[in-house]
A = this chain, B = another copy of it.
Amino acid sequence: MTSRKVVSFENIKVACKNCSLATLCLPMGLTPDDVERLDCIIKRGRPYHRGDHLYRGGDKFHSLRVITSGSVKTYSPNEDGGEQVLGFHLPGELIGLDAIQDDCHTCSAIALETTAVCEIPFSQLESLSAIMPSLQHQMYRLLSREIGQDTEMLTLLGKKSAEERLATFLLSFSERFKQRGFSASDFFLSMSRHEIGNYLGLAVETVSRLFTRFQDENLLRVERKHVQLLDIPRLYDIVQGCDSAKSSQSRG
């Protein structure tokens, strides 16, 4: 039920140097020698199943984690039982960066499907980065990138309409799937409508209606989790917020 497999689950013994995700991940920009040294501290456990927690808010922080297959939702459980979905993470993406601050996870991470991860013990990573300038640089870059992504999300939630939010969401997945060698226009979403709505600051019903409307406007075809983007350029127009997108469509 995974959208598509990047690394099959049996590759538990895979090393960074053989990993197709290396260019997206921590080893990016490192020399083969350095990758080898980094590889030594990485732990690869058995996969998580749908609904398993990788960690929970409040847990002591030990390791950063890179998704190698499957997908993960991070969320912060807020006082009144509800939750705020913070992100959906695909293979090659690093999670747990927010926990460095005080050695404690501030949010929770849960597998949305069968999911494998690499665990990188942070204290060892820190030691290694102290003697490996390229790794230190890569860490600074990744942390900085995370900040940049969060601020983009702030603009999305602060200023964009429901329509713009969903289009941005879909194109984000499109781009990320493409980066990973999959179709940019035909993919499966592993999260529910409810989770999409929560992430985008919208009600489930609004998300559902928007999917229907986008389909009516021939922007995409959708059937449950399966999404086919039919007019990516017009989706980008919508993201821009200019309503030129509207004028160029002719309802069928």
Quote the shortest CB–CB distance from A145 to chain B (angstroms).
Answer: 5
* Residues of chain B within 8 A of A84, CB atoms compared: 154-155, 158-159
- The answer to whether the Cβ of A23 comes within 8 Å of any Cβ in the partner chain is no
Contact A155 B78 (CB under 8 A): yes
The 4 A-B residue pairs with the shortest CB-CB distance in the complex, in nearest-first order: A150-B150, A100-B144, A158-B201, A157-B157
- The answer to whether the Cβ of A101 comes within 8 Å of any Cβ in the partner chain is yes
* Residues of chain B within 8 A of A183, CB atoms compared: none
Contact A144 B99 (CB under 8 A): yes
A76, A126, A145, A151: which has the most chain B beta carbons within 10 Å? A151
* Residues of chain B within 8 A of A143, CB atoms compared: 97, 100, 140, 143-144, 147
Contact A86 B151 (CB under 8 A): yes
* Residues of chain B within 8 A of A161, CB atoms compared: none
Contact A82 B159 (CB under 8 A): yes
- The answer to whether the Cβ of A10 comes within 8 Å of any Cβ in the partner chain is no
Which residue on chain B has the smallest CB distance to residue A133?
A: B130
Given that A84-B158, A140-B100 are known contacts, is A147 also in contact with B150, CB under 8 Å in the complex?
Answer: yes
A157 to B159, CA, bound (A): 10
- The answer to whether the Cβ of A79 comes within 8 Å of any Cβ in the partner chain is yes
A145 to B143, CA, bound (A): 10
For window 108-162 of A, CB contacts with B under 8 Å fall at 126-127, 129-131, 133, 136-137, 139-141, 143-148, 150-151, 153-155, 157-159
Which residue on chain B has the smallest CB distance to residue A99?
A: B144
> What are 24 pairs between A and B in contact, CB < 8 Å?
A76-B151, A78-B155, A78-B159, A80-B240, A82-B159, A97-B144, A98-B144, A98-B147, A100-B140, A101-B147, A101-B148, A106-B151, A126-B133, A126-B137, A126-B140, A129-B136, A130-B130, A143-B143, A143-B144, A150-B153, A150-B154, A154-B154, A157-B158, A158-B201
Contact A130 B136 (CB under 8 A): yes
Quote the shortest CB–CB distance from A10 to chain B (angstroms).
Answer: 34
